[in-house]
Structure 1
């Protein structure tokens, strides 16, 4: 007598296979990039001197770990993860400091003893920005609706993490923000006008079949 497959197992198996080809490769890259970022955070931690930067590093590491686990789970099962995607919150949002201050020209390090907080923070910033871009591109290629939403939900959080690092860098003049002259800035800001009225859209091509 042929054994019957329960609907639950059949449904679960179908959900597990609910991934497109691009999605499989892209999410593999997302998870690999997340591991790489966390591993590099761990390696960078020993060089941190400032306690504020150390708190940021630990907080971001913990967040990345939680989102890695959520992503890996829903990718494996094709279903809603047991934990929801978290929201990354910045403790205090500071206004940016504009303008350039005199500083020494940058150059590559000549020995590991030259590693400092500025370099550590710049490395963290690069990792966060790269992962944020990868999450965005991968979400656009993901067919599984659960995985797509999990990836997309993380983008805003990594933007916040990047801004948190920017604030730390900007406050210490590691990341300076130049501005244009006021007249030039005003001209750039006023370069666009709102679209008003009802646009006169062309009629569809009558020779083309519309379905």
Structure 2
């Protein structure tokens, strides 16, 4: 037996032809998505060594584990054009949905002068930047996919990145890193009551 036959390869077996049911624009978008997932996982590895809060470290590690599986699912469906061995999973966060509203004064922010100034506040912000940018990228590229399997895998991954972003936001908000201002009650009520439901006639067309 050849030594290489025991090694895992991300390339499809040579006796199975690659299905060429991808458009050119789709291939470029898929490469951008896959590169984005790799970049996030690489950056999370760098953040991990500087995070001090065990809670934030736990969020990072759970998200890394989940996105690694997502990466493998995307790569497999991209290469084969068929249903992946492990379908898209659903990410479930550990945070509750309580949001603290209002602003409190704090020190003005400025760029770090050295790597020694890295903090959990900044690192969680970098994580949020990763997940938010990927959720937007996946939503945009899903609209350009022609292969139905790859399109579904990419589209189904968008809610997971939204959930990961919300988890990081809630962590930041709880620790005062991400403050949420509100309008005055009178202005908020005016905004909330500025629309009315449209009358709906008949039934849903078939």
| TM tier, smaller | 0.7 to 0.9
Q: Does 1:158 align with 2:150?
A: no
Q: Does 1:127 align with 2:130?
A: yes
Instruction: Name the structure 1 match of 2:184.
Output: 181
Q: CA deviation at 1:187?
A: 0.9
Secondary structure in 2 matching 1:68: helix
Q: CA deviation at 1:22?
A: 1.4
Q: CA deviation at 1:94?
A: 3.0
Rounded to whole Å, the distance in 2 between the matches of 1:183 and 1:18 is 56
Q: CA deviation at 1:197?
A: 5.0
Instruction: Name the structure 1 match of 2:19.
Output: 16
Which residue of the other structure, out of 127, 140, 156, is the alignment partner of 1:137? 140
Q: Does 1:196 align with 2:179?
A: no
Which residue of the other structure, out of 108, 117, 120, is the alignment partner of 1:114? 117
Instruction: Name the structure 2 match of 1:64.
Output: 67
After the TM superposition, which parts of structure 1 deviate over 2 Å for at least 4 consecutive aligned residues?
Answer: none
Asked which structure has the greater CA Rg, the reply is 1
Deviation string for 1:190-211 (max 9, x for gaps)? 1211111559xxxxxxxxxxxx
Structure 2 residue runs of 5 or longer lacking an equivalent are: 1-15
More deviation, 53-62/182-191 = 182-191
Instruction: Name the structure 2 match of 1:50.
Output: 53
Q: CA deviation at 1:49?
A: 0.2
Q: CA deviation at 1:71?
A: 0.2
Deviation string for 1:86-106 (max 9, x for gaps)? 100012323100000111111
Structure 1 residue runs of 5 or longer lacking an equivalent are: 1-11, 200-211
Q: Does 1:103 align with 2:114?
A: no
Secondary structure in 2 matching 1:42: helix
Instruction: Name the structure 1 match of 2:149.
Output: 146
More deviation, 187-196/51-60 = 187-196
